[in-house]
């Protein structure tokens, strides 16, 4: 089992407050992310962005949420055997989790290096595989956590404050 954690400057305390209080979400959304289905991939993130737009979230924060979510959704479609995207919208933040059914990330530190990619030819032909997915999620989020079991499931979650 490997774990990776990231907190943007100044957010660690706010994140641990949130995690220890475990408040109930105002709105919850769930989307399936099927393996290698690039017609569907990204729809969950589009719909999440539309919902947050209606709720009046600031447009720059909205773009950060959408990009982080989209990159993670594409990762699940491109690299896993499929999974699920769960979003929990709270008063002051959004918590998005991606849980896939494997096969796990061998070396998370390496996967975080900009430019490193294990994308196959199909995925690359579509314009993915720049090796910037995880770095882009990190860049746009206030906190991020990856837990992966080699040969098993990976969970990636991020928090972004409004």
Partner 1 sequence: MTLKDVVNLLEAEMLYPEADLEREVPCAFASDMISDILMCTQEPTLLLTGLTNNQVIRLSDMIDLTAIVFVRGKKPLQDVIDMAEERGLPILTTPYTLFRSSGILFGAGLRSCKI
What is the smallest separation between the CB atom of 50 and partner 1, expressed in angstroms? 8
Whichever of 12 and 132 has its CB closer to partner 1, that residue is 132
Contacts of residue 56, defined as CB under 8 A and 6 or more positions apart, other chains included, come to none
Whichever of 64 and 95 has its CB closer to partner 1, that residue is 64
How far apart are alpha carbons 81 and 141 in whole angstroms? Answer: 25
What is the smallest separation between the CB atom of 107 and partner 1, expressed in angstroms? 19
Whichever of 18 and 119 has its CB closer to partner 1, that residue is 119
Q: What angle do CA 133, 94, 145 make, to 5 degrees?
A: 45
151: left (phi over 0), alpha (psi -120 to 50) or beta: left
What is the smallest separation between the CB atom of 136 and partner 1, expressed in angstroms? 6
The contact set with partner 1 (CB under 8 A) reads 38-39, 41-43, 45-46, 49, 59-60, 63-64, 66-67, 70-71, 74, 126-133, 136, 140
Whichever of 18 and 77 has its CB closer to partner 1, that residue is 77
What is the smallest separation between the CB atom of 49 and partner 1, expressed in angstroms? 6
- Which strand (E) or helix (H) includes residue 143? strand 143-148
Whichever of 67 and 108 has its CB closer to partner 1, that residue is 67
What is the smallest separation between the CB atom of 162 and partner 1, expressed in angstroms? 16
Burial class (CB in 10 A: 0-12, 13-18, 19+), 1: exposed
How far apart are alpha carbons 115 and 138 in whole angstroms? Answer: 14
């Amino acid at each position: 089992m490997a774990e990776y954690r990231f907190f943007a400057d100044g957010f660690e305390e706010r994140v641990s407050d949130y995690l220890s209080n475990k408040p109930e979400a105002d709105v919850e959304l769930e989307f399936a992310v099927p393996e290698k289905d690039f017609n569907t991939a990204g729809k969950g993130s589009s719909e999440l962005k539309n919902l947050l737009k209606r709720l009046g979230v600031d447009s720059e924060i909205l773009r950060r949420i959408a990009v982080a979510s989209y990159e993670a959704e594409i990762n699940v479609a491109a690299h896993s055997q499929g999974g699920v995207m769960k979003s929990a919208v709270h008063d002051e933040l959004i918590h998005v989790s991606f849980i896939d059914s494997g096969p796990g990330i061998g070396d998370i530190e390496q996967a975080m290096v900009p430019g490193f990619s294990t994308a196959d030819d199909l995925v690359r032909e579509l314009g993915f595989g720049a090796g910037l997915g995880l770095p882009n999620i990190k860049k746009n989020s206030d906190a991020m956590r990856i837990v992966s079991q080699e040969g098993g499931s990976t969970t990636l979650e991020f928090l972004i404050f409004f």
